[in-house]
Chain A
């Protein structure tokens, strides 16, 4: 990879499960099996610890930063079946909300696009996912049970300006809220919020993986009217689902079959580069070529950039 690699001294006592940078790319939040969430200020290649949050009673699986228009807010989910929402107040981070309505480990969480409001979706191993909405003083929750049998592993929001204005959703503000989830039943499911009934309904079930889906990521929508979802699975494959916004059909395209279980897929801010990380500790970057093929730009383990001409 064309890059400088710097190690972050996190000081965690056990395995680290997530490391996310905030909206501005200046802060790094990490979470670990040791039940703590840590926040670092990142400047260049140096990091300073600014907070060590210990409220969880189990390993913390994921952290997610909210859009800064709502303040400095971080959410974390844990094996202890709780979701904790933290907020920076002055220079102190404190717990502002705790959601403990799941019957099993909460595996994943994702903030909605800020256009919808301060809304958090979280996926649990009890097979359900919840949507927490911040109102003036409280958090309202809605739990969608039996989303995935055995367990729900990942959740991701669709961008607010939904491409594909076929259903008249293009104007921001009236955009339909959509969520994609991945679960142990090896399905990727797309959920749509029905504002008439106030319920989340299953819109589509995408079949393609042959084992637990580990992560799903809806690409940021900057560009043409089409939606892209990346999903990765225990079956060592990454699938790119593309909806051109006209036919409404999600076309799967297999990115690659990797050597190990793929744990994470993550889109770049502009939504055109996909980072993939697997159990073999490798991170690779993928980009769609003009011919519609997904090509590997670089692979952290190989240490060599590809020779492909960068046109970005």
Chain B
């Protein structure tokens, strides 16, 4: 049967099914109707709210249908009356008896499961009364000793017993023949209990629910114990066990939550199913003796028949797997523990509720295991090489070839051959004709940071370099050098250009003359000439001593005050204005010595840029950024500054993730021409002061701690506050005014605070 609903004008408080489950009665303050449940509709059968005087007796808190006599109903009225109704009455009003025994609102009525004339009620006055419909009077009164009885229900398995719950959080078990004393009583909840339900099959189980948002399942043996606790998100108003299922129970909330949840008591955290059809709070729920058919009424004035297959299944939508990747390449995953696995830990503890017989996917205790998959150093997501490279790469401080050599060695050591080759290529490209043996002593001398790497690989690198250089020579395009236009304009004159061209022609190279810009110093030309000749003729040329790359860029790498960046000056202006460098470790002699020979022999910049993009695209932003830093302004005009800035920021972020603060700082410092990156270094560093006694943060320039009232720094001698210089012993941390301390140590050896430390103030 599918989900159907009917809407009235007024909300109902309760509903009850006829014994044959074909009719349903709903009752509220202003409604009292019987509907027949058809296949796809509710059909109104009777409206019991008729008669001349619609007094408060018609205003119902609860309604029950006699389980044996189909024509008898009982309601609990808001005015304290318990009213019975007989549908077989000839008159228009079906009202039968009115019992006015309670002094306050009646919350619940309940028929005896097999004696049709017995009815029990629970009222806000704290009493329960047993009515005999044949004698038309209340025969017994049971005292709850609580303010209010919220629910009362006969034990379906042992019908002389009934159970009552009250607002003080107590559960009472009564024998209905003994009104003088309660048989058993225990405190079940921390607040009012609003609902209870006997388990239809397990004779000793009851479920209680209350304002503390929990549903508890109790085993009523000699010593009642909690079997399960279900935490819901709102005060629970009603609970009903699902028929034919041992562990399922439906609940509706009194506040906040409009949905009806069906719980598996072994999975107390998430409902098995939820019905969200009600638009307002659900006031009454009732299973139609069928685990797949639930009726409910709500404050939204609707009566709904819910079909279980239409329910939302939060438990099935639950994400069973988790996944996270850390920056170190560690992967954390969580997965359900397979059911055939050994119960361990808390699972074993709960094994009482593991019933292998009816155990299936969705109604058992389910646990997950979390695994950390730690990547090996050469794993695909490992960051080992990134961290190591970041630590070992040289960014500045030496000549370009040295840096390239060094970085190449680093990459090689980390088994990153492609990167190593790239460094070697760069070495070749930007040194002109790099890698001669004359260069070696210098290289070794400068490799003090990394004595282990450098010597044993440098020779090999050189061989490699030459091989690759020749390859590049053969295949690459041979156009002019890579100097910036700026230099060409300022330092080159026509004669030099002419001379250069002549040399080139003389050497037989096919050089595109239009793009060739030489440097201006005539005395350089012989070297060029040699180099070009060498290139032209053979591969086993030797390197002139002078073939160092000039490090122009170093000079421009200046520590410029932040104000200048905020004023949005262009990189060129920065170069002009701020030539006072923190990095003037280069000797000027080196600079002049090597000027001019460092031009690439063919126009490779485009390729290099392409290479940078390619690395970045493959997730190796480290390579791109490192290259940009190392190559300095050689690529300046060829790169999109936004893109470069993006790379820098990404790389800095990465470094910070690995807590490589020093490297990150160095990269920031070397981010030439990228004001927004450089600014990162100049953002304020905060120093916070805390009180030495209570650890409370001190305000700016505050000498007294606001919390404990103590002075933050007192003199051990005069106990006054020290302003200005504070001298203290690093051994025992006592100290004070400089003058006082000087006086003290002139005459004493021990600490002025009396701690026994032999302070030495020098």
What separation, in Å, do the CA atoms of A37 and B647 have in the docked complex?
35
What separation, in Å, do the CA atoms of A162 and B658 have in the docked complex?
23
A2 within 8 A of B: yes
Once A35-B269, A266-B324 are accepted as A-B contacts, the answer to whether A223 and B374 lie under 8 Å apart by CB is no
A8 within 8 A of B: yes
Once A20-B332, A312-B619 are accepted as A-B contacts, the answer to whether A281 and B372 lie under 8 Å apart by CB is no
What separation, in Å, do the CA atoms of A17 and B334 have in the docked complex?
7
Pairwise interchain contact B320-A15, C-beta atoms closer than 8 A: yes
Pairwise interchain contact B233-A1, C-beta atoms closer than 8 A: no
A291 within 8 A of B: no
B376 within 8 A of A: yes
What separation, in Å, do the CA atoms of A247 and B165 have in the docked complex?
69
Q: Which residues of A contact B381 (CB under 8 A)?
A: 268, 273, 275, 285
For B368, give the chain A residue with the smallest CB separation. A16
Q: Which residues of A contact B376 (CB under 8 A)?
A: 2-4
Partner of B646, one of A12, A32, A221, A263: A221
B346 within 8 A of A: yes
Stretch at the interface among B40-48, B106-114, B568-576, B610-618: B610-618
Partner of A275, one of B233, B331, B613: B331
Q: Which residues of B contact A81 (CB under 8 A)?
A: 233
What separation, in Å, do the CA atoms of A21 and B241 have in the docked complex?
41
Q: Which residues of A contact B645 (CB under 8 A)?
A: 172
- Contact sample, A vs B, 28 pairs, CB 8 Å cutoff: A8-B332, A10-B370, A11-B345, A12-B368, A14-B267, A14-B270, A15-B368, A17-B320, A19-B324, A19-B332, A20-B322, A21-B332, A24-B657, A57-B213, A59-B318, A222-B621, A223-B616, A266-B323, A269-B654, A270-B619, A273-B325, A273-B380, A277-B322, A277-B333, A283-B331, A283-B373, A312-B416, A312-B619
Once A11-B346, A24-B659, A35-B231 are accepted as A-B contacts, the answer to whether A17 and B322 lie under 8 Å apart by CB is yes
* CB within 8 Å of A: which B492-529 residues: none
Q: How large is the interface on A (under 10, 10 to 19, 20 to 34, 35 or more residues)?
A: 35 or more
Counting from the closest, the 9 A-B pairs by CB-CB distance are A272-B619, A25-B326, A270-B619, A16-B368, A21-B326, A281-B335, A16-B334, A264-B323, A8-B370
For B333, give the chain A residue with the smallest CB separation. A283
Q: Which residues of B contact A4 (CB under 8 A)?
A: 373-374, 376
Partner of A172, one of B324, B378, B649: B649
What separation, in Å, do the CA atoms of A224 and B381 have in the docked complex?
20
* CB within 8 Å of A: which B612-665 residues: 613, 616-621, 642-643, 645-647, 649-651, 654, 657-659
What separation, in Å, do the CA atoms of A281 and B368 have in the docked complex?
10
What separation, in Å, do the CA atoms of A263 and B368 have in the docked complex?
15
Q: Which residues of A contact B269 (CB under 8 A)?
A: 14, 33-35, 58-59
A171 within 8 A of B: yes
B383 within 8 A of A: yes
A165 within 8 A of B: yes
* CB within 8 Å of B: which A75-98 residues: 79-81
**Inter-chain pairs besides A8-B372, A47-B372, A278-B321, 10 sampled, C-beta below 8 Å:** A2-B379, A5-B371, A5-B372, A8-B371, A19-B323, A57-B232, A171-B676, A172-B645, A268-B325, A300-B373
Pairwise interchain contact A264-B322, C-beta atoms closer than 8 A: yes
Q: Which residues of A contact B676 (CB under 8 A)?
A: 171-172
B336 within 8 A of A: yes
What separation, in Å, do the CA atoms of A278 and B334 have in the docked complex?
11
Partner of A59, one of B270, B331, B345, B350: B270
* CB within 8 Å of B: which A278-300 residues: 278-279, 281, 283, 285, 287, 297-298, 300
What separation, in Å, do the CA atoms of A20 and B618 have in the docked complex?
24
* CB within 8 Å of B: which A175-222 residues: 214, 220-222
* CB within 8 Å of A: which B199-252 residues: 213, 231-233
What separation, in Å, do the CA atoms of A194 and B258 have in the docked complex?
35
A39 within 8 A of B: no
What separation, in Å, do the CA atoms of A11 and B618 have in the docked complex?
39
B757 within 8 A of A: no
Pairwise interchain contact A23-B657, C-beta atoms closer than 8 A: yes
B375 within 8 A of A: yes
Pairwise interchain contact A2-B332, C-beta atoms closer than 8 A: no
Q: Which residues of B contact A25 (CB under 8 A)?
A: 326-328, 330, 657-658
Whole-angstrom distance from the CB of A164 to the nearest CB of chain B? 11
Pairwise interchain contact B385-A312, C-beta atoms closer than 8 A: yes
Q: Which residues of A contact B383 (CB under 8 A)?
A: 269
Most B C-beta atoms less than 10 A away, residue of A5, A283, A300 = A283
B314 within 8 A of A: yes
Once A3-B376, A32-B368 are accepted as A-B contacts, the answer to whether A15 and B330 lie under 8 Å apart by CB is no
Whole-angstrom distance from the CB of A34 to the nearest CB of chain B? 6
B residues apposed to A, CB below 8 Å:
213, 231-233, 267, 269-270, 276, 314, 318-336, 345-346, 350, 365-376, 378-381, 383, 385, 416, 418, 613, 616-621, 642-643, 645-647, 649-651, 654, 657-659, 676
Most A C-beta atoms less than 10 A away, residue of B276, B367, B418, B642 = B367
For A20, give the chain B residue with the smallest CB separation. B324
Pairwise interchain contact B657-A15, C-beta atoms closer than 8 A: no
Pairwise interchain contact B370-A16, C-beta atoms closer than 8 A: yes
Q: Which residues of B contact A254 (CB under 8 A)?
A: none
Pairwise interchain contact A311-B333, C-beta atoms closer than 8 A: no
What separation, in Å, do the CA atoms of A7 and B165 have in the docked complex?
46
Pairwise interchain contact B318-A23, C-beta atoms closer than 8 A: no
Pairwise interchain contact A33-B267, C-beta atoms closer than 8 A: yes
* CB within 8 Å of B: which A222-272 residues: 222-225, 263-272
Once A79-B314, A269-B657 are accepted as A-B contacts, the answer to whether A221 and B650 lie under 8 Å apart by CB is yes
Q: Which residues of A contact B378 (CB under 8 A)?
A: 2, 310
Whole-angstrom distance from the CB of B619 to the nearest CB of chain A? 3
Binary flags per residue of A142-157, CB closer than 8 Å to B gives 1, else 0: 0000000000000000
Pairwise interchain contact B327-A23, C-beta atoms closer than 8 A: yes
Q: Which residues of B contact A170 (CB under 8 A)?
A: 642-643, 646
Whole-angstrom distance from the CB of B455 to the nearest CB of chain A? 28
What separation, in Å, do the CA atoms of A263 and B331 have in the docked complex?
15
Whole-angstrom distance from the CB of B402 to the nearest CB of chain A? 26
For B256, give the chain A residue with the smallest CB separation. A81
Pairwise interchain contact B233-A14, C-beta atoms closer than 8 A: no
Q: Which residues of B contact A7 (CB under 8 A)?
A: 369-372
Pairwise interchain contact B373-A223, C-beta atoms closer than 8 A: no
What separation, in Å, do the CA atoms of A12 and B350 have in the docked complex?
13
Once A6-B371, A25-B657, A35-B269 are accepted as A-B contacts, the answer to whether A18 and B322 lie under 8 Å apart by CB is yes
What separation, in Å, do the CA atoms of A300 and B619 have in the docked complex?
23
Pairwise interchain contact A13-B372, C-beta atoms closer than 8 A: no
What separation, in Å, do the CA atoms of A45 and B370 have in the docked complex?
12
What separation, in Å, do the CA atoms of A35 and B371 have in the docked complex?
20
What separation, in Å, do the CA atoms of A264 and B323 have in the docked complex?
6
Pairwise interchain contact B370-A30, C-beta atoms closer than 8 A: yes
Q: Which residues of A contact B323 (CB under 8 A)?
A: 19, 263-266, 275-277, 283
Q: Which residues of A contact B647 (CB under 8 A)?
A: 222
What separation, in Å, do the CA atoms of A2 and B329 have in the docked complex?
11
What separation, in Å, do the CA atoms of A42 and B332 have in the docked complex?
11
Whole-angstrom distance from the CB of B354 to the nearest CB of chain A? 14
Pairwise interchain contact A6-B372, C-beta atoms closer than 8 A: yes
Once A270-B620, A312-B619 are accepted as A-B contacts, the answer to whether A79 and B270 lie under 8 Å apart by CB is yes
Pairwise interchain contact A61-B314, C-beta atoms closer than 8 A: no
Partner of B231, one of A57, A224, A305: A57
A66 within 8 A of B: no
Once A2-B375, A269-B383, A275-B325 are accepted as A-B contacts, the answer to whether A33 and B270 lie under 8 Å apart by CB is yes
